[in-house]
Structure 1
């Protein structure tokens, strides 16, 4: 095990994002296309003191024959991919392969890296794999489902403790433990992780992590008292008529993402030329979509085939608000266990109010489906997506609503390899024909909650069969799959399909157990 150096969690030198630390050097490298993947340089480590490297760069860049690529190679150490040297045995079942993968994907407590973007954590954790070398927030819940099946309770506990540590340090869970993610979170699954851990231990776990659950809730509900007008928003809070409140995704910065710098600049330029969209506005929408975990999807677009029409911060997402309902219910129970009846009743009321608002704003009675809501236009957005199954997962749908949703799943989403994410073929990775492990689980469990066991079992069989088939063919567990044509690999997005893969492994083991 590596030694652990406890960092001071401030926005001081130790937690400066690489684009702020390296300035024009960072921008020049990312715009130069030296690396196929912009995340590579964002994750690199300086070989010398960053200040010295910056001074050398400004001194040397104007000299004849200066080569930026050679300068970077000389002064930075590039990160390695997880799983790149792991050899699969395709003669063994997928479950055996996953058991062998867990140690490969497990990272030990970190050192503070001088000039690096990694934020050290005090306990071991599982990374997704490939280019994703850090702990990701919502990924980790689905990874934990499989860790539980593997009997790795201690590792689950370590990961929950790491997220509590991040909440204590920052007041929220960043997308992952990188400095360039410190301006946003991800879908708030911490309350589900705590409940999962409590099921393996006891309910005292809820009271143990109550302070962190409350802090995370405060982060999502941070509001400006002076701005409470109907259909107006402040950060992640949106005010609606009658005192109702729902939430949206947001990011506290409006600049290109360091890990996708060049891509964001190019898109902002295109949107400005085509529609006159201010660049900072577009960057905010891109970053907010990244907070959603669905980066990217036609779900966030005004024109489903035009990425430059992204308008994420105008949209109330149904899945986010179901997750915050779960957080409110968990807080209510935790306060009751701690004999704080006043706070218990307060959060019970908040949860009830949110359910009313979820039904009012997300259930589209004309299309008979739960849909996202554009609070600027004051109407449902157009796309049908698997986010509409979150009310089933959290048992918030009425019985009549659940029958309509089952019909949509059977007729629109279910394919030979599992469930499509959306019906739109936009070229984005969170659109057709791709299917993703977390959404397969949400849909599967949601359907079972309403006793739609036949279609749930069909989904289970289709998804597991696709993973088995791909593993036999390539020896890989992938981040996403083409569920419409099981002979093709999934594509789209800003980077190649990654292997490892944390949440695919987790959901596979959990659904395999249900299949048995």
Structure 2
């Protein structure tokens, strides 16, 4: 009898894995891979394509986030039959077979006269999602990957956790004394690393081809500030695993084959990294936009990969990645050695060195200190332009620095790897060209893309302020802080909202990108609260 029940349970879980892509009764024990968690584009094929290309929803992300009411096989069979009827209505079919995603901040209204600081504190529970440690056998979860601990989402259209966003959200959580929530989020990221081998862009199945800027080591370091340095040892295996993900393929690189996935060989014993994505298909959450753009491309698959790599960078999209500095169709992200990515990887190597030192493994500690020093030297060699006195991404295919000035240049200051002279020069350029009435503009180029002028973003303001402070550029750091805080407060007073990004030049409301400006908003809240409460 017991054996029969076990067989039936095993069969039930197997069938659910085929239909929903998620069949684990306990996430703590689960070890799925991207192959067992197909994205909605892979699950629904022609139906997914039809819904996206016929614009059933104004935002492509809506259908990617829908929850199926029935197994995928049933939905596809019904679609095959229904579309043959003369009265077939695709919109009605979708609503019959899927549940639409609920907006994260639904039902929340800011209180009249409430301070921005209290508004942010009140938003934490609104933006917090509960743990989903046990997936019920009769629940089809759609594209959302359950997580074992509570977590904070950005808000607006973003109803899942995002990798690099979370570090800046954590700044505000720390200011609010929410150490447990920070720990829960760090534990969720550690879980994702154990489960998938890396931290995906967000906890959606359609993000399993890419990561985001590797801030995990900085999150762990932030946690050690409130729970003690030895907490680092708890996460040492996952820090190592994330590093292995970024460096995958390093040992097989040669002069003839200088790249593999995210690692690039620039010279003998000189290795740096790039953004990448393992897939060459349209992004499910921006399917229609990608397909329409690719119709004008000579190599659509390569274009999709560059677009996805741009999404992994978090700067989706920016003239940083454009060959002509103007048009998305010229994107070639994977040709660049990004200054921000490699600065973060120096920090990861240094954190690994510290972790192994705490563990008592001096051999590994010295190894990672050496790797960090080698990367720092290589970054300064390839990404510092002495003539322009600024940090730039390096185009390793064209073998020259990029031409676009961007706030990615503040990363070497933030992780303290720039020389004093370089930091002073960067500060001068920031004050001369980037500093605007509302804060720092992301680039000096106007393209209509959201990660270009005139937009400013909370994470880049924080990185710049902290980077400038690291090199005693305090007057400029204070100017950036004042301008940014005042713009945030001005918009909040006028609208009762914290938004995703700001027009820092005309302060008329941020524009550009694939979707409207979102309110909520995780990293804006985190950075502003930290700046308002710091001494």
Indicate the residue corresponding to 2:317 in structure 1: 296
Secondary structure at the counterpart of residue 245 of structure 1: strand
Matched, 1:240 2:266: yes
Q: Distance in 1 between matches of 2:444 and 2:106?
A: 33
Q: Partners of 1:32 and 1:375 in 2: how far apart?
A: 39
CA distance in structure 2 between the partners assigned to 1:480 and 1:131 by the alignment: 14
Change (3 A) 1:12 1:149: closer
- The answer to whether residue 73 in structure 2 is matched with residue 51 in structure 1 is yes
By how many angstroms is 1:230 displaced?
7.0
Quote the offset at 1:85 in angstroms: 1.9
Q: Equivalents in 1 of 2:229, 2:33: separation in Å?
A: 35
Map 1:288-367; keep pairs closer than 5 Å.
288-367=309-388
- Larger deviation, residues 278-287 vs 56-65: 56-65
Please state whether the residue corresponding to 1:145 is helix, strand or coil: helix
Residue 149 of structure 1 pairs with residue 175 of structure 2:
yes
Q: Residue 11 of structure 1: CA displacement?
A: 3.9
* Structure 1 residue ranges without an equivalent (≥5): none
2:201 to 168, 171, 175: 175
Is contact 1:231-1:375 (8 Å) kept? Answer: no
Match of 2:165 in 1: 139
* 1:366-419 CA-partner distances (Å, limit 9, x unpaired): 111000000000000110000001011111111111111111111110000000
* Change over 3 Å in CA distance of 1:467–1:335 after alignment to 2: same
Q: Distance in 2 between matches of 1:90 and 1:14?
A: 48
Query: In structure 1, which of residues 504, 509, 512 is the aligned counterpart of residue 529 of structure 2?
Result: 509
Among candidates 210, 224, 229, match of residue 184 of structure 1: 210
Pick from 286, 306, 329: which aligns with 1:285?
306
Q: Please report the TM-score for the alignment, with normalisation by the length of structure 2.
A: 0.93
* 1:25-64 aligned within 5 A: 25-64=47-86
Q: Shift in Å at residue 84 of structure 1?
A: 3.3
In the TM superposition, what is the alpha-carbon distance from 1:226 to its structure 2 partner? 3.6
Number of the residue aligned with 1:436: 457
User: Is the 1:231–1:241 contact (alpha carbons within 8 Å) kept by the matching residues of 2?
Assistant: no
Moved more, 411-420 or 83-92: 83-92
- 2: CA distance, partners of 1:153 / 1:185: 25
1:422 aligns with 2:448: no
Given that residues 265 and 272 in structure 2 are in contact (C-alpha distance below 8 angstroms), is that contact kept between their aligned partners in structure 1?
yes
State which drifts further: 117-126 or 78-87.
78-87
- The counterpart of 1:81, out of the listed 97, 103, 120, is 103
* Contact 2:34–2:196, Cα closer than 8 Å, also in 1: no
Name the residue aligned to 1:105. 127
Is the CA contact (8 Å cut-off) linking 1:421 and 1:434 kept in structure 2?
yes
CA positional deviation for 1:9? 3.6
Once residues 103 and 229 of structure 1 are traced to their aligned partners in structure 2, the CA distance between those partners, rounded to angstroms, is 53
The alpha carbon displacement at 1:12 in A equals 7.5
CA contact (8 A) 1:90 1:472 kept: no
- 1:492 paired residue number: 512
CA contact (8 A) 2:33 2:195 kept: no
1:98, CA displacement in angstroms?
0.4
> 2:453, 2:494 → 1: CA distance?
23
Normalization by structure 1: what TM-score? Answer: 0.96
Aligned-pair distance for 1:81? 1.0
Q: Which runs of 5+ in 2 are unaligned?
A: 1-23
Q: 1:348: how far off? A: 0.6
Note if 1:196 corresponds to 2:222: yes
Residue 491 of structure 1: how far off its partner (Å): 0.9
Indicate the SS of the match to 1:252: coil
Q: Are the aligned partners of 1:231 and 1:238 in contact in 2 as well (CA < 8 Å)?
A: no
Shift of residue 80, structure 1, vs aligned partner: 1.3
CA distance in 2 between counterparts of 1:231 and 1:199 reads 42
Per the TM alignment, residue 460 of structure 1 is displaced from its structure 2 partner at its CA by: 0.6
Decide whether the 8 Å contact of 1:244 with 1:357 is kept in 2.
yes
For the residues of structure 2 that align with 1:143 and 1:422, how far apart are their CA atoms? Answer: 23
Cα offset, 1:13, TM superposition:
8.1
> 2:253 maps to what in 1?
227
- Could you tell me how far 1:477 is from its partner in structure 2? 0.5
1:186–1:291 Cα contact (<8 Å) kept: yes
CA distance in 2, matches of 1:437, 1:39: 23
Q: CA RMSD in A?
A: 1.3
Asked if 1 retains the 8 angstrom alpha-carbon contact of 2:275 and 2:333, the reply is: yes
Q: 1:265 to 1:459 in 2, by over 3 A?
A: same
Distance 2:35 2:366 in 1: 43
On the 8 A contact 2:275/2:313 being kept in 1, the answer is yes
Quote the offset at 1:5 in angstroms.
Answer: 4.5
SS at match of 1:464: helix
Corresponding residue number in structure 1 for 2:293:
267
Q: How many residues align?
A: 506
Whole-angstrom CA distance in 2 between matches of 1:191 and 1:243:
24
1:126 equivalenced with 2:152 (yes/no): yes
TM superposition shift of 1:224: 5.5
In structure 2, distance between residues paired with 1:230 and 1:50: 44
> What displacement does 1:90 show?
4.1
Checking the alignment, whether the CA contact within 8 Å between 2:352 and 2:368 is kept in structure 1 is: yes
* Equivalent pair of 1:230/1:239 in contact (CA under 8 Å): no
1:406 aligned partner: 427
